Amino acid sequence: MARVRLVIARCQVDYVGRLTAHLPMAPRLLLVKADGSVSIHADDRAYKPLNWMTPPCWLTEEPGVWTVKNKADESLVITIDEVLHDSSHELGVDPGLVKDGVEAHLQELLAAHPTTLGDGYTLVRREYMTAVGPVDLLCRDAEGRHVAIEVKRRGEIDGVEQLTRYLELMNRDPLLAPVAGVYAAQQIKPQAKTLATDRGIRCVTVDYDALRGMTSTDLRLF
């Protein structure tokens, strides 16, 4: 069974590819997941890594240097000055996120009626997996472009951050890009709407009862 590896090390990191980035020498957490992804974390960014490489990628370890390369020949070079901790763990099969009944049913209804989210929308897949978790719905718009949709019962800022993370990764994939984002919920807080709009994510307020065929099917778009 594949294992997750946790390394705490004093290191510097250089990313070379379509973009270049440099992290100076400092203590950081290096996370090598069972799916092959490698990410570098600080202690002040919550879930978001400082830099990362998503699979398929390949890690080569030499004394004092890790080199991670992907199929586009981009490189994540980690220069290690001192290793403070190194451990591996088998996490087993994850049962996945269990949503409350209304949220799960809302996702199911939107998958069955994707035009609720936009004219000409068609469903590609539910629970489309990315390196950082599943996107609730992956659709195509009327022009055939991909759209990632995050579904919540109540739309708050953390959901916008979650969708932003998915979009950032998905838009690196030339087979998917460009990928637009839609944040769909029964209620969306003003702060979440403001953040989503600032990041180019469209918000859709969904009438759950209407989707169930109980009331008017009019939707409010923001």
Are 140 and 147 within 8 A, CB to CB? yes
- When pLDDT is averaged across residues 185-212 and rounded to a whole number, the result is 92
Q: Where are the domains of the chain?
A: 4-89, 101-219
pLDDT tens track for 134-167? 999 999 999 999 999 999 988 999 999 999 999 9
pLDDT band at 88 (very low <50, low <70, confident <90, very high): very high
pLDDT at 70 over 50: yes
- When pLDDT is averaged across residues 57-78 and rounded to a whole number, the result is 95
Q: What CATH fold (topology level) applies to the domain 4-89?
A: Protein Yojf; Chain: A; (2.70.180)
What pLDDT score was predicted for residue 98?
Answer: 58
pLDDT at 219 over 50: no
Q: What is the pTM of this model?
A: 0.54
Same fold flag, 4-89 and 101-219: no
CATH number (1.10.760.10, 2.60.40.420, 3.40.1350.10, 3.40.50.300) of 101-219 reads 3.40.1350.10
